[in-house]
Amino acid sequence: MPETDNLQHTTYNSRDRRPWLLLLSALVILCDRLTKIAIIHRIRPGYDIPIIPGVFRLSHVLNTGAAFSLLENLPPNAVRIGLISFSVFAAAIVFFLLWQTGRKLTPTSVALALILGGALGNLYDRIRFHHVVDFLAVRIYHYNWPDFNVADSCIVIGACLLLLEIFRPIPHDS
């Protein structure tokens, strides 16, 4: 390979991918907001629309608690302030980790971008509306999965990607 081609290849591969990863986080936030707005305008709170009868429905749940409606029976302001504080702290850590690892496009950096977007999407709702809109409802046999949203989905997908990275075998140089 000629010297200039090798130099161009190295330069191309060393580009900073953080802007693209932050764009991914922003797209997660945008998709989360747009889907929640659509649900708010089409389904009244407490109602749902069956999509796949007995399996999947669109609902409109106002979640004042944590993930899976945990803590929703505690005093609302205490839970809200606690969740906002935790979310800000967690988002700051994830942003820091993304900034550190985001020079390259890796499963870890994509996972962190998804988690950051999801955390900020739900944080926005907690600050602005004092609750999070959940609208995806899944039932598998007799088990009803707690309602969730796009932000929750991205957080879970990001966490799964991180787990896959943790348990991925490390190639040994021979």
Number of domains observed in the structure of the chain: 1
Looking at the domain assignment, is residue 97 inside a domain? yes
Catalytically annotated residues = 134, 152
What is the pTM assigned to this prediction? 0.84
pLDDT at 7: 46
For 7-46, the pLDDT digits (tens) are 444 444 568 999 999 999 999 999 999 999 999 999 999 9
Closest of 141, 132, 155, 160 to residue 61, by C-alpha: 132
Looking at the domain assignment, is residue 4 inside a domain? no
Looking at the domain assignment, is residue 3 inside a domain? no
Looking at the domain assignment, is residue 174 inside a domain? no
Looking at the domain assignment, is residue 93 inside a domain? yes
Domain residues for 68?
Answer: 17-53+63-167
Looking at the domain assignment, is residue 159 inside a domain? yes
How far, in Å, CA of 91 to CA of 126, rounded? 14
How far is Cα of residue 104 from the mean position of the Cα atoms in its chain?
Answer: 20
